[in-house]
Amino acid sequence: MTNSLESQLHYPLGERLPGPGEVIEVAPGVRWLRMRLPFALDHINLWLLRDRADDGREGWAVVDCGIANDATRANWEQVFANGLDGLPVLRVLVTHMHPDHIGLANWLCERWGRPADSTRPVFDDSQDCRLWISGTDWNAARIASGLRSGFAGEPAVRHFQRNGMSNPEWLQQLRQRSSYYNTLVPEVPHKYRRLMDGMHVTIGDQEWVCIAGYGHAPEHIAFHCPALGVLISGDMVLPRISTNVSVIDLEPEANPLPLYLSSITEMLALPADTLVLPSHGRPFLGLHTRIEQLCQHHDERFAEVLEACAEAPQSAFDLLPVLFKRPLDLHQTTFALGESIAHLHALQSRGQLRPVAGADGVLRFALAG
């Protein structure tokens, strides 16, 4: 169902969506495909860009990968058979290190890299299928895929308890979910090409400009093609939902929300008629409108948090019904709680809230002054 904010955007493809193994051309040399996700957010959009290698070979660049599971691999095999015009994948570009984006990067690079019977010297990697990603997110993904804790397990339990979660059943489930990231991202390519803010990358006949964004991931890279008027926005700008901006157990004092809002505000410099290709939802027109909506959304949430904290000190968990007006399962609650903490930290950094450590070990926030 379309909400009032979404009706202010324009969807040039209407309700059309690519089915399993299907691709849809959204701009010259740009194809859209979707992969299923086993979460409430049940899909991710991936992109194919017509490409050409330095040695003249024709093929495709893949943007983002899906999570590592058999269903996603099978879906990719359908795309390889039906959506590539018989051409190979030449490189894999990843917007950021979250599992739905980088999960199958290693599989894709190996699937399209050096053939097993290659006679090329082992040191000749000129025809390898290389991962392109920001240096920060490559390192973060490599570290996270090797952790047996982080994002879940006992460290996450202590983090959530500190911020007010007390449901013993949920806490026990989090303790048992100790290999969350590396289950979805079992391996990250050990070599990569680094993407940086402002970098120009030639893909096929088009030049794409890298736009670094912060707050959602360590160093998220979006891709803008001025000639096509297209922005692959990753998770930074989504049409129907707001981007998750969380404080997690690995960086418990982080203040990511101002970074996120500053990053998307800088995208207002792009043309208003840019076609936005988001990681979730449908391609849309109305970039400036959507950025303004997202900034207003967080201003409203800030006001609601301040109002609640004026009545009594609030933990991040206390604020979940204030910030989220729908029932949440455990998976959704972990993201929601991270986002609640992010709002509190942003208001603390503005000098509007102050932390109050309770005798029960829970951190709550009261109005400053």
Residue type present at position 60: W
Domain-located, residue 307: no
Paired tokens of 343: 């709002």
Domain that holds residue 37: 6-287
Count Cβ atoms below 10 Å from residue 113 Cβ, excluding itself: 18
For residue 363, being part of any structural domain is answered with no
Contact present, 150 and 109 (Cβ < 8 Å): no
Q: Are the C-beta atoms of 107 and 73 separated by less than 8 Å?
A: yes
Assign residue 164 a region: left if phi > 0, alpha if psi is -120 to 50, beta otherwise? left
| Cβ within 8 Å of residue 305, ≥6 positions away | 314, 319, 322, 323, 343, 344, 347, 353
CA–CA gap between residue 14 and residue 10 (Å, rounded): 8
Residues 276 and 285: their CA atoms lie apart, in Å, by 6
DSSP for residue 44: E
**3-state SS class at 225:** strand
Residue 305 lies in a domain: no
Q: Which two tokens stand for residue 192?
A: 């990569």
Residue 355 lies in a domain: no
Q: What is the pTM of this model?
A: 0.95
- 8 A C-beta contact, residue 279 and residue 239: no
Residue 113 inside a domain? The answer is: yes
Q: How does pLDDT run along the chain (369 residues), one tens digit per residue?
A: 457 788 899 999 999 999 999 999 999 999 999 999 998 899 999 999 999 999 999 999 999 999 999 999 999 999 999 999 999 999 999 999 999 999 999 999 999 996 655 556 555 566 799 999 999 999 999 999 987 665 678 889 999 999 999 999 999 998 888 778 899 999 999 999 999 999 999 999 999 999 999 999 999 999 999 999 999 999 999 999 999 999 999 899 999 999 999 999 999 999 999 999 999 999 999 999 999 999 999 999 999 999 999 999 999 999 999 999 889 999 899 999 999 999 999 999 999 999 999 999 999 999 998
CATH of the domain at 43: 3.60.15.10
Counted domains in the chain: 1
Q: Is residue 318 part of a domain?
A: no
The answer to whether residue 213 sits within a structural domain is yes
Task: Please state at what angle helix 287-311 crosses helix 330-349, rounded to 10 degrees.
Answer: 80
Q: Is residue 21 part of a domain?
A: yes
The three-class DSSP label of residue 292 is helix
Whether residue 259 contacts residue 75, with contact meaning beta carbons closer than 8 Å, is answered with no
